[in-house]
Amino acid sequence: MHHDPAFAKNLLPTLMEACNGHLGDVSWFRADWQRGGASTGRAMWTTAEAPPQEVVVKFPVIPRELFWTRRLQTPGGTRPKSIPHLFASGITLGHYDLAWLVMERLPHGPLGLRWHKDHIERVADAAARFHAETDTLPVDSAEAKVEDWASLLEHARESIRNNRLAQKPRWADAVKLVQKRHGQLVERWRGRDTTHWIHGDLHLANAMSRSSSQSGPVILIDLAEVRPGHWTEDAVYLERQLWGRPDRLEATRPVKSVAQARRRHGLKNEPRSHELADVRRALMAATSPAFLKTEGHPRHLAGALDQLEAAMGRLRM
């Protein structure tokens, strides 16, 4: 469903009724960083027991986002440490099967709007907190993401042939090497431990804060991609955003930051998890040319190629 201000406005009385009169008038907006088709608005939440509070209204949301936002709330009305506090939610509005959320409005962020040297360490800590809070919840590993790496690599080679990429010969050689080692790489990756939950969409645009843009704990938003997996998936996904900025990458080391944060929060890392991160790096970087519409910025591609060659150099297979 696409963002439709008129549709959202028409459903507002139904939403306010579902919130038992606690929800005030909603001001709808679409942020520059927002992805997907949800309508998002700001409002005030008023009760007799507490001062009015600013909230964010969001609908429609996919069932997974609703499920996890509800699941990670803390008892007694205290605010969760890793995700926004939920004031109200539902799976229908009027005659529509339409999931919706009313959450606290986080005053600072997203962190992606302005770079600060502490961003990565703070997001890494939030990821580790999320991993720790979900660590005892049951997991069905069969739901872990399974990419068709052979097909993606073939698309990448085709894209390299058909487009005017900088460093075209280097790209061709690097992807050819990954294809040659495809079986070993994919076997190693698919053999990872997927009996844990990951955020699945860990990036700076999904990082907010209750305290400050430049300090304090980060709150993660957008739980639509939560799934079983290995923590290196979150870590390399966070790192990938900096591939086009080697200066920032050298100064922050996202995968190392997540690993250290996990240890601080009492979680174990596999002895060779750095190798698993390299496998993930190599596969993701090698398939970048298959996604030129979203990953085709020359600076990002140059960084991806450097990451690909470095990862393959470190992996002995």
**Coarse DSSP helix, strand, coil percentages of the chain, rounded to the nearest 5 percent:** 50, 15, 40
Q: pLDDT at residue 5 above 70?
A: no
Give the pLDDT score at 125: 98
The dihedral sign for the CA sequence 248, 251, 253, 257: negative
Q: Which helix (H) or strand (E) holds 130?
A: helix 119-134
Give the pLDDT score at 1: 44
Alpha-carbon distances, residue 182 vs 174, 278, 283, 307 (angstroms): 12, 14, 9, 17
Q: What is the mean pLDDT of residues 69-96?
A: 94
Distance CA(284)–CA(255), nearest Å, equals 15
Length of the chain in terms of residues written: 317
Angle between helices 182-190 and 273-286 (to 10 degrees): 130
Q: How confident is the model at residue 213 (pLDDT cuts 50, 70, 90)?
A: very high
Give the pLDDT score at 124: 98
> 240, 297 in Cβ contact below 8 A?
no
Report which of 259, 246, 248, 143 is spatially closest to residue 204, judged by C-alpha positions.
248
Q: What is the mean pLDDT of residues 17-44?
A: 83
Residue type (1 letter), 221: I
Q: pLDDT at residue 161 above 90?
A: yes
Q: pLDDT at residue 36 above 80?
A: no
What percentage of the chain has pLDDT greater than the value 90?
87
Q: What is the pTM of this model?
A: 0.94
* CATH hierarchy code of domain 5-105: 3.30.200.20
Going from N- to C-terminal start, the domains of the chain cover 5-105, 112-314
Phi, psi dihedral angles at 229 (to 5 degrees): 180, -165
Q: pLDDT at residue 37 above 90?
A: no
Give the pLDDT score at 77: 79
User: Which DSSP string corresponds to 249-311?
Assistant: HHHH-HHHHHHHHHHHTT----TTHHHHHHHHHHHHHHTGGGGHHHH--HHHHHHHHHHHHHH
Give the pLDDT score at 177: 98
User: Which DSSP string corresponds to 38-71?
Assistant: -EEEEEEE--SSS--EEEEEEES--HHHHHHHHH
Q: pLDDT at residue 86 above 90?
A: yes
* Residue 39 structure tokens: 């309508």
> 222, 187 in Cβ contact below 8 A?
no
What percentage of the chain has pLDDT greater than the value 70?
96
Q: pLDDT at residue 315 above 60?
A: yes
Q: Which CATH superfamily is 112-314 part of?
A: Aminoglycoside phosphotransferase (APH), C-terminal lobe (3.90.1200.10)
Distance CA(126)–CA(118), nearest Å, equals 12
CA 63 to chain centre: 17
Distance CA(3)–CA(60), nearest Å, equals 9
104-155 confidence digits (pLDDT tens):
999 999 999 999 989 999 999 999 999 999 999 999 988 899 999 999 999 9
Q: Whole-number mean pLDDT of the chain? A: 94
264-307 confidence digits (pLDDT tens):
999 999 999 999 999 999 999 999 999 999 999 999 999 999 99
Alpha-carbon distances, residue 12 vs 8, 97, 129 (angstroms): 6, 15, 35
Distance CA(91)–CA(299), nearest Å, equals 42
Strand bridging mode 53-59 / 39-45 = antiparallel
Give the pLDDT score at 316: 79
* Residue 62 structure tokens: 């996919």
